[in-house]
Homo-oligomer: A and B are copies of this chain.
Amino acid sequence: MSKISKVPIEVSARHIHLTKKDFEKLFGKENPISPIKKLSQEGEFAAEEKVSLIGKDKRIDDVRVLGPFRKKSQVEIALTDAYHLKLNPLPKIKVSGDLANTTKILVHGPKGMIKAPCIIAQRHLHCSEEEAKKLKIKNNQIIKVKISGKRGLIFDEVVVRTNSKFRASVHLDTDEGNAAGISGKTFGEIVK
């Protein structure tokens, strides 16, 4: 454990990415998507619109739609949510966009419903190629990130995802954020 570099940590609550077509099925053709908050990655935003995820005999309401529209719809939840909804088989732990062989889940909107693939997001570090160079890491590399505090831990299996539009930030889901006792703005350390 030698060189250490600080990176911001963000915890993502359960959310859904939608195609334009699926958005229209859920919210109607007459209503455009309504951005209400910019997210840390350029161009990404939280929308006013929310959906419900429907499980066997339980549901989770108020699940935020994120924009802009994507080429494929995708639900991202925490394992706690998956157990609550009694999804069987459980969604796979995957990087965003890799939707092969994962569970589909029923999604309700005010105007209709869809079935969408559902994943547990693999924890990852977004950064630009330039930042990656400074941090001495590469796209697709698996790194360790240390969180300090009363629930301090070292996350292994953090995959690096570089893109010229990205800004350095580790993305965790709520199970991971809560396991590490993270609330609000936090920094982690890349541990080698």
Contact = CB atoms under 8 A, between A and B. Distances in A.
Interface in A38-89: 78-80, 83
Contacts of A154: 153-154, 156
B176 A93 contact: no
Contact of A175 (B80, B150, B152, B157): B80
A181 B123 CA distance: 12
A83 B157 CA distance: 26
A119 interface: no
A155 interface: yes
Interface residues of A, number: 22
A156 B157 contact: no
A80 B181 contact: no
Nearest to A93: B150
A178 interface: yes
Contacts of A79: 178, 181
Contacts of A78: 80, 178
Interface string A90-126: 0001000000000000000000000000000011000
A21 interface: no
Given A93-B150, A93-B151, A150-B93, A80 B156 contact: no
